[in-house]
Structure 1
Amino acid sequence: MNVSASASQISRNDLTRNNLSISEVPSDKLSEIELTRNKCSMSQASFNDLPININSQAFSSLISSSGFINKLVVNDNKNNLMNGHFFHNELFSGLSIHGGDVVESSDAISSTQLPASLSLNILFHGKVNFCLGNKAYELNAGHAKSTKNSVAATCALSVLATSDLLSRKMTTGQAVKKVNLFVKRAWLEKRCTDVQSKVLLKKLFSNHTALYQWQDNVTFTSLAQKLLDLPTESSLQIDLLKEQMALTLLNELLAILPDKIDQPQPPLTDNKNLWLNKERHQLKKKANIERYIEQELENVITLPAIAKHFALSVSSLQRYFKQTYKLTITEYIRQQRLDKAKIAITIKELSISEAGYQAGYNHVSNFTSAFKKQFGITPANLLKLHQKITQQ
């Protein structure tokens, strides 16, 4: 309760009243802000909906808070990633939108493991270089032709039929103005009941990592510009407007898809544009190691066994783990086991001794000590707290 209150005060009052940027907020408070952002209503979740300097820590936390594995590599040791107006909203409907009018202030690569999904980009200005799976693409707003009465934008729909990697390149000095609508495949298919729509989605998701591109002067640009023009201060009415506009964008997209999905955009073929092989490999290795450890948590896990599984020496594995996670392998495994123990106690109703044994502790006292160090509360007090809430 105290954490939520203090973080909420920092994220809204301090940033607004004192005109602070996120980069000026102490690093120990950033995690509190992100924690509160996840637990509060959508209006509070929009604390980043401000004209600010966006630093690397806040950017990574934002993506990770959406449940995605992410790696950010900044090549020039700068803290700020971009300057300008930026917003990101996880909507009640299950869609998410983000966008802004920014100038990139660092050379960086952001790599994210995404679920099967559709991602609609409406690009008004600048260019965006990215890799989707094993294909490299470039979007360029310079190809869009504006008229006297309307502003043009380059629209692009990317398709992931299954989970895959998206890597986005940022370049110092690059100005980008865009809006993005993201929707998971499972979300679409759950709501798809008529035969015609099912046929459309089946055809659409038959082309993994495809990109479809077109120019637009009215429908998509108008809605995207309205999203960009909404007041930065969040409220129920503004949040509902964003929800409505996002759903309208999706509806308009589905209406034109039959005419757009026969000719996917060819990927870049020049080797100089495939700048993400190393980052892609590193992120996949990270995901594979996490998956392996999660599967083996209930067994005895040794460093030599993990190293052998991934064809690494023990020293290389330890060095890689420390660089990637800022933890030793032993510390990481202990954290994962304690996380599972917390779930076992509060949700699966295992006894404290049983949960401790499953986490690898033969003595309850040792388990209690490690648990309190990790979560700031003993297992018994955590259980009492949750039981008290459920009995109210």
Structure 2
Amino acid sequence: MDLKDKNHSKHKLKNKILQAGYDFSSIEGSGQSSDTLLSGALNFKQLANGISFHFADTYESSNTVSSCEITDLISFNILFSGKLSFAINEQKYHFDATKSEKVFINVINGKQAFSRFLTIDNSLKKLNLSVSKEWLIQRSLNDQEKRFISSLFKNKHAVYELKCSELLKEQALQLCSIELNDSLKSQLILEAHATLCITELLSMLKANVSSRVNSIESLVEKQKRKFDKEVLPFIQGGFTVKQIANKLGTSESTMQRYFKQHFQMSVLEFIREKKLEKARSMLVIERKSIGEAAYYSGYKHVSNFVTAFKKQFTVTPSELLKQHRS
């Protein structure tokens, strides 16, 4: 990789995050003496085979929070050196590789709020490889593999910490040493080494969570219609359940049965949940006030919004914001 010093301002860092495919990003920094948030090598690349590649060998010169939304993916991380902190929804995580390498894997099911914390005077070197949930499903060709992938995505998010094997370390360092350019040879080599790393990481993860596989249902989806996707455009329209059913050309009872079967909730409960998820995004990503988020969610009184929010996410809006701030 190109390790020449490069300075990254708030604007430049946000553009890199957007170019990497993460929408609704926001960055808030403090404590820096200049416009530079971090310096060093920072590379994002979407490979043609569907793997997202991210490599950083940087010095962090500010206390900064970078937030975005991530959805339906598994993120493999090798922290070679330095410290790394991040939050997913209401939970915060910290990894320290000052003594030895750390390996951690984030599994994200659905759309979740993610914040990464930069820390002043922190020198960090890490490799991140991410693939979508669909990427894994398409490559799972037998029932055992399908059950394993299903077990990974049974919760809204999960974080696993693994030991860094010598084989993985060697593969990761080889991947990080590949010169990034637009040549066909470079792209094929990068894809091959990235795939090898993911293969090793999945094998390590499977050994770590194998006891959970048997209790998970098959991934095969037999339902022809996915009413949850079709209902989304009507969420902010103030439509009744009956009106939504009419617009979708189905009966209210059919739609209710679908949500009870697949989500163990009514259509109204689903709509309320999606509004609260959007409110969470407004607070963390868009930096809206609690009052604005409450208004969006249809609550006339902030206190009622706070109660519903805590019931949904186990934390109040204020507590969530604390998790996603420096």
| TM-score of the superposed pair, with normalisation by structure 2 | 0.63
Q: C-alpha separation between the residues in 2 aligned to 1:90 and 1:173?
A: 29
Paired residue for 2:152?
A: 204
Q: C-alpha separation between the residues in 2 aligned to 1:312 and 1:223?
A: 55
Paired residue for 1:55?
A: 9
The answer to whether structure 1 residue 240 and structure 2 residue 196 are counterparts is no
After TM superposition, list the pairs within 5 Å mapping 1:131-280 onto structure 2: 131-142=87-98, 144=100, 153-261=101-209
The CA RMSD measured in Å over matched residues stands at: 3.3
Structure 1 residue 219: Cα displacement: 2.1
Paired residue for 1:90?
A: 46
Q: C-alpha separation between the residues in 1 aligned to 2:29 and 2:89?
A: 21
State the AA in 2 paired with 1:253: L
Give the SS at the match of 1:183.
strand
State the AA in 2 paired with 1:71: S
Contact 2:3/2:57, CA 8 A, preserved across alignment: no
Structure 1 residue 124: Cα displacement: 0.8
State the AA in 2 paired with 1:110: S
Q: Deviations over 1:244-297 (max 9, x none)?
A: 111111211222222112699xxxxxxxxxxxxx997242676xxxxx9xxxxx
Q: Deviations over 1:75-131 (max 9, x none)?
A: 236421211122211100111011121111111000110011111110110110111
- 56, 64, 74: which one pairs with 2:29? 74
Q: C-alpha separation between the residues in 1 aligned to 2:210 and 2:91?
A: 18
Structure 1 residue 67: Cα displacement: 4.4
4+ residue runs over 3 A deviation = 48-51, 306-313
State the AA in 1 paired with 2:54: H
Contact 1:50/1:87, CA 8 A, preserved across alignment: no
Greater length-normalized contact order (CA 8 Å, ≥ 6 residues apart): 2
More strand, by proportion = 2
Change (3 A) 1:198 1:283: same
Q: C-alpha separation between the residues in 2 aligned to 1:209 and 1:308?
A: 23
More helix, by proportion = 1
Structure 1 residue 232: Cα displacement: 4.7
Structure 1 residue 205: Cα displacement: 1.1
Aligned residues: 231
Unaligned runs of 5+ in 2: 213-279, 303-326
Q: C-alpha separation between the residues in 2 aligned to 1:284 and 1:200?
A: 35
Q: Deviations over 1:290-334 (max 9, x none)?
A: xx9xxxxxxxxxxxxx77957599xxxxxxxxxxxxxxxxxxxxx
The answer to whether structure 1 residue 112 and structure 2 residue 68 are counterparts is yes
Contact 2:162/2:205, CA 8 A, preserved across alignment: no
Contact 1:118/1:183, CA 8 A, preserved across alignment: yes
Larger Rg: 1
Paired residue for 1:283?
A: 285
Give the SS at the match of 1:84.
strand
Give the SS at the match of 2:98.
helix
Change (3 A) 1:263 1:208: farther
Q: C-alpha separation between the residues in 1 aligned to 2:144 and 2:281?
A: 39
Change (3 A) 1:81 1:232: farther
Paired residue for 1:128?
A: 84
Q: Deviations over 1:48-97 (max 9, x none)?
A: 98641122212111222214221111123642121112221110011101
| TM-score of the superposed pair, with normalisation by structure 1 | 0.53
Q: C-alpha separation between the residues in 1 aligned to 2:129 and 2:108?
A: 14
Unaligned runs of 5+ in 1: 1-45, 145-152, 265-277, 287-291, 293-305, 314-392
Q: C-alpha separation between the residues in 1 aligned to 2:77 and 2:24?
A: 21
Identity %: 24
